[in-house]
Amino acid sequence: MAYGADARELYEALTWHEGPDPYATVVGPWLDRARGGYRRWLAGAAEDSSWWAEGATGPEPGGQELLWELYALSRVSDQLLLGFDASGPTPSPHAYLDLFACLGMTPFDSGGAFDPFLHEIVEVEQTPDPYAPIEAVEVLRPGLMLGQLLFARAGVRIRAGAEHAQCGVADRSPLYWTFRRANRPTVDLSQGWGSNSQWRTDFRLDYRTPAGDRLNVAGDRPIDGNPELHPDHPANLGPEERLLTPGERRELLRHRCLLRAPEAAEALAGSPGWERELMPFDWRLRRLPDAETDPSGS
């Protein structure tokens, strides 16, 4: 248990809790133990650096342990967010934000232009014009930043043409790097593992820095494989991933889900369940000119 508290303990207490509001009986006492050293430990992840590769120093936990702890905290957030969809007990929105503010995070609602770094698509309103760009029309739940590190995106309702985001795909296809949502399937690397092994899952690291956004910075697998060496069958990509276009792979990395039915939907239909079998978790995106960064047009 790091610095007197750990997020797995809090998550499990929340899942076992019975009653309308777990804040006073579960979250509050846990926070009392998490102040001080625990908060300072989390702050080590707030800036884009190589902290995640650092080993333990004496009794102090290392970067790997902090990746696991951030993942466990994301599970806490996922559990509490179920209440925003009226499908689970949760403290009030104020109490939810207070929990993470006490851990050094800053809430945002980012009600401006749609930004896939900051926004998770929850609902899609399809426009008659198929080429209408994605527009955020309502913030349904807040997001959280830990310094430069994105901890949780804000959930938004969007309006868009089908060429940019399809209703039933952008809001219902599997959401990767996510343990749980109320109204859509999710995929993360903890699923399918035992009660202890699942907690050795790394948190995805996305940073918004003065030099630009950095996505999945701990990833070590080129998003396009090695096309120079294997132009027909990119290395390090599975058969389903190879059927996605480069733009679709980038869309999946940026949005954590697909926004439209893939161009190779007919071929992919021959692999039942392919939507949950993609493995983008280690994808690394090489630097691209700004005009190429987001092929989805969003």
pLDDT digits (tens, 9 = 90+) for 162-197: 999 999 999 999 999 999 999 899 999 999 898 899
The tens digit of pLDDT for each residue in 31-61 reads: 998 877 899 999 999 999 989 888 777 667 8
Residue 298 has pLDDT above 60, yes or no: no
So what's the pLDDT on residue 290? 43
So what's the pLDDT on residue 284? 86
In 251-280, which positions are buried (b, 16+ CB within 10 angstroms) versus exposed (e)? bbbbbbbbbbebeeeeebeeeeebbeebeb
- Which of 55-59, 115-119, 136-140, 198-202 comes out lowest in average pLDDT? 55-59
Q: Which long-range contacts (CB under 8 A, 24 or more apart) does 198-202 make?
A: 199/8, 199/68, 199/71, 199/72, 200/68, 201/68, 201/71, 202/52, 202/64, 202/67, 202/68, 202/71
233 DSSP assignment: S
Contact 177, 202 (CB under 8 A): no
Residue 149's SS3 state is: strand
| The Cα angle at residue 230 between residues 225 and 235, in degrees rounded to 5 | 35
291 DSSP assignment: G
User: For residues 141 and 147, what is the distance between their CA atoms, to the nearest angstrom?
Assistant: 19
So what's the pLDDT on residue 59? 66
Q: Which residue has the higher pLDDT, 23 or 123?
A: 123
So what's the pLDDT on residue 153? 97
**In the structure encoding, which two tokens stand for residue 66, read together?**
């902090």
Contact 161, 130 (CB under 8 A): yes
Could you tell me what percent of the chain has a pLDDT over 70? 88
Q: Tell if the pTM clears 0.85, that is, is over it.
A: yes
For 157, phi then psi, to 5°, come to -95, 135
The tens digit of pLDDT for each residue in 235-266 reads: 678 889 989 999 999 999 999 999 999 999 99
Domain boundaries, the chain: 7-206, 219-284
Residue 1 has pLDDT above 70, yes or no: no
Q: Which residue has the higher pLDDT, 90 or 1?
A: 1
Q: What is the mean pLDDT of residues 109-126?
A: 92
Q: What is the mean pLDDT of residues 88-100?
A: 73
Residue type, 225: G
The CA–CA distances, whole Å, from 80 to 22, 108, 216 equal: 10, 17, 24
Query: Residue 101 contacts by C-beta under 8 Å, 6 or more apart in sequence?
Result: 107
- Predicted confidence band at 90 (pLDDT cuts at 50, 70, 90)? very low
Q: What is the mean pLDDT of residues 94-111?
A: 89
Please, what is the end-to-end C-alpha distance for the chain in angstroms?
A: 42
